[in-house]
């Protein structure tokens, strides 16, 4: 049995007249008057379907082939031939078709061949991978993840897993989920019995535990020994903001490098973004072309532009001046010392610079305790990268490597030295300048696909009031 994928056949790698076996699901069936059925088959290996020609000489043509509907699973033995149709170069003439799974009730099958809205598809998240759009998104996600690992490897970074369960609020934003043992197992099955006064959160670990918001602090420990490391894993934030850019569970790539300063990691971040986007355009041009047709006609042009231009740099203080003097009415106030709102970020990246922009050296009071204090004693060596249409995609900084300054920052943030004893040790024993950043993987996905809502670029999105599947 010469088992191949649809992508193997459509790329022209297998010579004509070869006998092959192929497995997949029916997208559509069309019957001609000449008693020939055309079956469009998909198997997830590429966007385009494979056309299977089924003639009435097949033993099950009348009883089974003519009853096939969208979603049925089949296994086909046949030969590859040149197609006379205009839609495809090659097709497969079936010798034998075995039906593996029928659709229970085709008239109520949730994924018909017609177009569905993204909102509807979210309600059937377990079936939406069967659509062309989610298929394309899934292959793009895979390609980007692989490109990231390859890039980091080429640059000498070691991949380390950092813990998902933690006792630390790295970002100090208190958007953490608690982790507790479920001694009341019955609660899982009888949620009504949940007693809200139960507090078993400390029983297992001996202290309160949470789902991590970032692997950075642990990554720093490894960077301070192995020089260049990165983590790439899920992170969690109890985000109530119901936007199309926030998830409660999302993936983050966090490089951390000893002996690098803010400017060094800015260069690294720009290189990383450009390199993986180029790889995507080369490797998944079929899916990108599909997105051009279905989502956004400009997407490839926009991505090519992003890989070719130099990103703009601006100091936070300069950005504030610019926003104050640009003669534009904003809904939210602009003050030095306050965070920029998304309307301000949009103005900078979409209207003023019309390209990616890196904002540097934010005021210390709006950034996390670990960022390195600048000589002005007011700002920290931090950076955010903003992309047009997305807003912040990367946040990073040089870390405070001087113990006395770190202690000052802990105190200013009402954090205790005792709690951070091991993090302080990194400064007590052979401290080095070091820096890193976090790239939100799903934000990257919405940027490269043009898909509007972040819930559609991760398989089973988790957001407030949404934990189905």
Cβ 256 to ligand 4AD shortest distance, Å: 7
Cβ 312 to ligand 4AD shortest distance, Å: 17
Q: Which of residues 2-41 bind ligand 4AD (CB under 6 A)?
A: none
Q: How many residues bind ligand 4AD (CB under 6 A)?
A: 22
Out of 49, 363, 433, 438, the only residue in the binding site for ligand 4AD (CB under 6 A) is 438
Return d(Cα 187, Cα 197) in angstroms, integer. Answer: 13
Query: What is the sign, positive or negative, of the torsion defined by CA atoms of 205, 211, 213, 215?
Result: positive
Q: Which of residues 391-410 bind Mg ion (CB under 5 A)?
A: 395
Cα–Cα distances (Å) from 237 to 96, 104, 240, 275, 366, in that order, read 52, 39, 9, 28, 18
Which of 254, 401 has the CB closer to ligand 4AD? 254
Using DSSP bridges, classify how beta strands 312-315 and 19-31 pair: parallel, antiparallel or unpaired: unpaired
310 backbone dihedrals φ, ψ, rounded to 5°? -85, 135
Three-state helix/strand/coil letters over 399-413 = ECCCHHHHHHHHHHC
Using DSSP bridges, classify how beta strands 158-159 and 228-236 pair: parallel, antiparallel or unpaired: parallel
454 backbone dihedrals φ, ψ, rounded to 5°? -60, -20
456 binds, among Mg ion, ligand 4AD, none (CB under 5 to 8 A by kind): none
Cβ 384 to ligand 4AD shortest distance, Å: 7
Out of 45, 131, 166, 170, the only residue in the binding site for ligand 4AD (CB under 6 A) is 170
434 binds, among ligand 4AD, Mg ion, none (CB under 5 to 8 A by kind): none
Q: Which of residues 209-238 bind ligand 4AD (CB under 6 A)?
A: 214, 216, 237
Pick the stretch among 73-81, 142-150, 288-296, 436-444 that binds ligand 4AD (CB under 6 A).
436-444
Q: What is the Cα gyration radius of the chain?
A: 27
Pick the stretch among 158-166, 249-257, 317-325, 413-421 that binds ligand 4AD (CB under 6 A).
249-257
Which of 192, 465 has the CB closer to ligand 4AD? 465
Three-state helix/strand/coil letters over 114-128 = CCCCHHHHHHCCCCH
26 binds, among ligand 4AD, Mg ion, none (CB under 5 to 8 A by kind): none
121 binds, among Mg ion, ligand 4AD, none (CB under 5 to 8 A by kind): none
78 near ligand 4AD, judged by CB under 6 A: no
Return d(Cα 461, Cα 463) in angstroms, integer. Answer: 6
363 near Mg ion, judged by CB under 5 A: no
443 near ligand 4AD, judged by CB under 6 A: yes
Binding mask 379-408 toward ligand 4AD (x if CB under 6 A, else -) reads -------------xxxxx------------
Which of 73, 466 has the CB closer to ligand 4AD? 466
CB atoms under 10 Å from CB of 42, counted, come to 20
Which of 72, 439 has the CB closer to ligand 4AD? 439
Return d(Cα 135, Cα 88) in angstroms, integer. Answer: 20
Cβ 461 to ligand 4AD shortest distance, Å: 10
393 binds, among ligand 4AD, Mg ion, none (CB under 5 to 8 A by kind): ligand 4AD
247 near ligand 4AD, judged by CB under 6 A: yes
47 binds, among Mg ion, ligand 4AD, none (CB under 5 to 8 A by kind): none
Which of 215, 395 has the CB closer to Mg ion? 395
Binding site for ligand 4AD (CB under 6 A): 170-171, 214, 216, 237, 239, 246-247, 250, 252, 254, 392-396, 436-438, 440, 442-443
């Amino acid at each position: 049995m010469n088992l191949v994928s649809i992508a193997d056949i459509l790329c022209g790698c297998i010579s004509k007249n070869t006998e092959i076996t192929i497995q997949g699901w029916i997208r559509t069936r069309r019957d001609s008057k000449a008693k020939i059925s055309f079956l469009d088959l998909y198997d997830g290996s590429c966007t385009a379907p494979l056309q299977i020609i089924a003639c009435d000489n097949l033993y099950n043509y009348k009883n089974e082939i003519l009853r096939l509907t969208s979603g049925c699973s089949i296994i086909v033995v046949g030969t590859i031939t040149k197609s006379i149709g205009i839609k495809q170069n090659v097709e497969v003439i079936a010798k034998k078709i075995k039906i593996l799974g029928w659709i229970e009730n085709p008239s109520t099958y949730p994924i018909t061949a017609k177009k569905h809205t993204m909102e509807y598809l979210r309600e059937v998240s377990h079936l939406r991978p069967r659509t062309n759009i989610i298929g394309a998104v899934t292959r793009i996600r895979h390609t980007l993840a692989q490109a990231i690992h390859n890039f980091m490897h080429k640059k000498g970074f070691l991949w380390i897993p950092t813990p998902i369960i933690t006792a630390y609020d790295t970002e100090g934003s208190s958007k953490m989920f608690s982790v507790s043992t479920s001694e009341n197992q019955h609660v899982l099955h009888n949620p009504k019995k949940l007693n809200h006064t139960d507090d078993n959160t400390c029983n297992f670990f001996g202290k309160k535990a949470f789902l991590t918001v970032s692997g950075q602090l642990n990554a720093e420990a490894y960077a301070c020994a192995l020089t260049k490391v990165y983590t790439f894993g899920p992170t969690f934030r109890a985000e109530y903001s119901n936007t199309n850019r926030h998830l409660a569970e999302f993936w983050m790539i966090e490089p951390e490098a000893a002996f690098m300063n803010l400017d060094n990691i800015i260069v690294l971040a720009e290189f990383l973004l450009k390199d993986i986007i180029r790889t995507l355009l080369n490797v998944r041009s079929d899916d990108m072309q599909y997105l051009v047709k279905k989502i956004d006609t400009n997407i490839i042009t926009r991505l090519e532009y992003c890989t070719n231009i130099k990103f703009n740099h601006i100091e936070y203080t300069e950005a504030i001046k610019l926003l104050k003097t640009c003669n534009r009415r904003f809904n939210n106030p602009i003050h030095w010392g306050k965070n920029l709102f998304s309307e301000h970020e949009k103005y900078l990246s979409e209207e003023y610079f019309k390209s990616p922009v890196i904002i540097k050296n934010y005021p210390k009071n709006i950034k996390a305790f670990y960022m390195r204090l600048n000589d002005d004693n007011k700002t920290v060596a931090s950076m955010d990268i903003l992309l047009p249409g997305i807003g912040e995609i990367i946040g990073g900084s040089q870390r405070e490597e001087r113990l006395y300054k770190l202690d000052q920052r802990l105190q200013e943030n009402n954090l205790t030295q005792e709690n951070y004893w091991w993090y302080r040790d990194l400064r007590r024993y052979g401290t080095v300048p070091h820096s890193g950043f976090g790239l939100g993987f799903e934000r990257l996905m919405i940027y490269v696909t043009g898909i509007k809502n972040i819930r559609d670029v991760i398989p089973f999105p988790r957001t407030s009031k949404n934990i189905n599947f």
